[in-house]
Chains A and B, each alone.
Chain A
Amino acid sequence: MSDTHAQTVAFVRETMLPEQPPPASEAGVIKWMRENLFKGWFNSILTILSLYFIFKIVTGAYPWFANGIWTTSSLAECREILDGATGACFSVLTERWNQLLFGFTYPPEAYWRPTLAFVLLIVAIAPVLYPKAPRQMLFFTGIYPFLAYWLIWGGTLLTPLMVLLGFVAGYFAFKQFERQSFAMGLVAGVIAAIVVIWAGGVVPASMPDVLAIQAIPSRDLGGFMLNMILGTVCVSLSLPLGILLALGRQSSMPIIKWICVIFIEFIRGVPLITLLFVANVVLAYFFPPDANIDLVLRVIIMITMFSAAYIAEVIRGGLAALPRGQYEAADSLGLDYAQSMRLIILPQALKISIPGIVNVAVGLFKDTTLVSVISMFDLVGMIRGPILASTEWNGVYWELWGFAVFVFFIVCFSISKYSQWLERQLATDHR
């Protein structure tokens, strides 16, 4: 049989042809470009427009960066060196670096203190952010707020120490009474904390020089430090407050529910700037005349209330997204309200709400720039006020605003990237 072909056909190939490489237009870079850049005339036009746009940006920005001058002490001097060429005067950043970071009235000999507080912040926040970090570090996280207060504002260490003591006393009182009921424990803890803090207040008053460093009033805070302080303090305070508000809004007790609803809807309905006006001019009317509550504290109160309302809505979404069966399962185990919330509902609801909470946190951090409107000198306030108004640097817009954009972008972008990472870490469902 097999011979017939050989006899009738002149040539029969007995081996397979070797595999040919695909045509040049269907392989490698060219294929990728055909599919991703030049698919159809419309896409080609878009690509060419984008390339032109990128080309414009790069050719415009490159000489500006490359000729940047870092070492002059005024704009006039910088322009003299540039001599008409395109170039940035980054020297405004080097010359006013400390002002941009710390404000213009913070004493220079104390710059190490906020810097140290910032470094310690990273240490303190690590166990909160990375579930794998050693748990013992949480102890330091607990102490950190008091330490940071002492470092930034100065004064005697006894003041924050007494407050810390109050919290410790409250914790032990809570543990003592928690066995009877959660509510009893809470009440006992709060009372113990208040009593100890109030009674302990006499100690720093009587010994103002023990372990004291130079006290710095909060109106001297400024620059990016102020943004960081407001951001961290308000986010960490508003998280527990937001959880309480969200639980209150879900509650079956009508009075508590309506208090929470009205608070949340009111705060969410007005812009932050009006709340800052309240902090600036109105809030002082609501405190006793001799209670000297400074502006930074009033601003912290208002921003905390503001972000607590938003966080409460996010967490409410998380609570609502939990299947009804989780609540019923907790009930059928015989857990009371506090136990079921703490052990079953909140861990799941908070996990669902992480992206939303991070969004609120990023938004809040961005909103701390609004304090510049009520004449506080945060990063934006410093740029608008003392730096752009000074005779040396009047007119250096791009460098300063570029710096502000850069700083905020780095912080906010890394926070949102972190939250995406955390979401993947916490995903326990099967895919």
Chain B
Amino acid sequence: MSTISDPPSGSFQLSMLINDTRYRSYTFQFIALILLILAFGYLGSNLLANLKAAGLNISYQFLGEPAGYDINQTLIPYTSQSTHWQASLVGVLNTLLVAFLGCLMATVIGVVVGVLRLSDNWLVRQLMSIYVEIFRNVPVLIWILIIMAVFIAVLPQPRDFRGEDAEASMVLGMFAFTGRGFYTPAPIFGVGSGFVVAVFLASIAGIFAFRNYAKKALYERGRLIPTFWPSVAIFFIPSILAYFILGRPISLEYPELKGFNFQGGIFMRNSLIALWFALSIYTAAFIAENVRAGILAVSKGQTEAAASLGLRPGRIMNLVVLPQALRVIIPPLISQYLNLTKNSSLAIAVGYMDLTGTLGGITLNQTGRAIEAIFLLMLFYLAISLAISAIMNVYNNAVKLKER
């Protein structure tokens, strides 16, 4: 009696490459590899032929040549004489700037909306779901363009701030919201300001140390030390003391109307603001859904168990619901950050000079180096998203339920 799994005793036959499961996977992989190589060879030879016909070659020399165009919003010194490489760096920083600001604001709005969607208040609940549905179901590009149009149409121009009875005035005498962009005061760091900053950073470290100490005291000796007001005190008092003792080394430079425009302060161009707001409120709608799902994922029994232990509602939220909800919220939250960063490439629609606008826009058009520019552009976004995925993996491993 023989079982069917007996190895065939005959010699190797060609048909076994297809029919025998031991060899079949090799056949398929071999075919796939051949097809892949053929496809790449075909595309590559076409590329070479086309480049030759057009008299081009692949070269990154253009990065060292002067860019010859101006960028109206830069974080690092840049002139039109700078190289394309520096223009790209300006673009990278602008991308990161709007992505950072956007993530910050989207998180705040998203968490508030997500919590309000679970509120007891029927009216607020309905309003928030209308907000979420409207923003989730309309393309972000349309929101960016709408907000840009609204800024230009609704906000006053700098010239409206002129004169005795001007049509518009600055808010608190510090902020000017114009259709051209927002002007805010800029900090000027004088002598000794480094010390104030150092004190400030040290006090933040101090808060963490104090909280650790309080936790330890609670767990080991059962002493409950209040943390909130001491934390606030540590946060403010040393820095303010240092600030006044050193004779106010940090001052603010206010924007001032000179001629037809504002001078001084920090200027945020309308394209940056429009992109920032649009990305934030669009992504916030998605984040709100994640937050809501995360809170709902914590079963009601947990809340009830905590309540029956006698915890106050605030403590229930902090100690029982949030730690479990965050486990569910954070992975999709991070992928929303990633989406926001990728969507920031739509800056090109409103003329904000992020990397897509500099390297993928003007540099590409001026030098005609399409392949190289787009390759670098993709590489940058790929690097960012791989980095964020890596962070996410580390986090997921850290919060994974420790099961037996």
Residues of A whose CB lies within 8 Å of any CB of B are 35-37, 39, 43, 46-47, 50-51, 53-54, 181, 183-184, 252-256, 259, 265-266, 268-274, 277-278, 281-282, 284-289, 362, 366-367, 369-370, 372-373, 380, 384, 395, 397, 401, 404-405, 408-409, 412-413, 416
Give the docked Cα–Cα distance between A36 and B25 (Å).
63
Q: Which residues of A contact B381 (CB under 8 A)?
A: 269-271, 274
Residues of B whose CB lies within 8 Å of any CB of A are 18-19, 25, 28-29, 32-33, 36, 43, 46-47, 49-51, 53, 116, 119-124, 127, 133-134, 136-142, 145-146, 149-150, 153, 342-343, 345-346, 348-349, 356, 360, 364, 370-371, 374, 377-378, 381-382, 385-386
Please, which residue of chain B has its CB at the minimum distance from the CB of A45? B121
Cβ 8 A contact of A268, one of B19, B133, B385: B385
Contact call B120/A282, Cβ cutoff below 8 A: no
Contact call B345/A274, Cβ cutoff below 8 A: yes
Q: With A39-B120, A47-B123, A51-B123 known to touch, is A286 a contact of B43 (CB < 8 Å)?
A: yes
Contact call B145/A273, Cβ cutoff below 8 A: no
Q: Looking at chain A's contact residues, is the secondary structure mostly helix, strand, loop, or mixed?
A: helix
Contact call B120/A36, Cβ cutoff below 8 A: yes
Q: How far is the CB of A335 from chain B (nearest CB, A)?
A: 13
Give the docked Cα–Cα distance between A277 and B370 (Å).
9
Cβ 8 A contact of B141, one of A39, A46, A268, A369: A369
Give the docked Cα–Cα distance between A288 and B356 (Å).
28
Cβ 8 A contact of A270, one of B119, B122, B150, B342: B342
Q: With A47-B123, A281-B370, A380-B145 known to touch, is A367 a contact of B139 (CB < 8 Å)?
A: yes
List the 7 shortest-distance A-B pairs measured between CB atoms, nearest first.
A412-B137, A36-B122, A271-B342, A366-B139, A269-B385, A281-B370, A269-B382
Contact call B138/A253, Cβ cutoff below 8 A: no
Q: How far is the CB of B45 from chain A (nearest CB, A)?
A: 9
Give the docked Cα–Cα distance between A22 and B120 (Å).
23
A-B contact pairs, 26 of them (CB 8 A): A36-B121, A37-B123, A39-B120, A46-B123, A47-B123, A254-B29, A256-B28, A266-B382, A269-B381, A269-B385, A270-B381, A272-B342, A273-B348, A274-B378, A277-B370, A277-B377, A282-B374, A285-B46, A285-B51, A286-B47, A289-B46, A366-B140, A372-B141, A401-B145, A408-B138, A413-B137
Q: With A184-B18, A268-B385, A271-B342 known to touch, is A289 a contact of B137 (CB < 8 Å)?
A: no
Cβ 8 A contact of A409, one of B119, B138, B149: B138
Q: How far is the CB of B400 from chain A (nearest CB, A)?
A: 16
Contact call B137/A369, Cβ cutoff below 8 A: no
Give the docked Cα–Cα distance between A252 and B22 (Å).
13
Given contacts A270-B378, A384-B145, 16 further A-B contacts (CB under 8 A): A39-B120, A252-B25, A255-B33, A256-B28, A259-B36, A270-B381, A274-B374, A282-B370, A286-B43, A286-B50, A287-B46, A366-B140, A370-B141, A404-B138, A405-B138, A412-B138
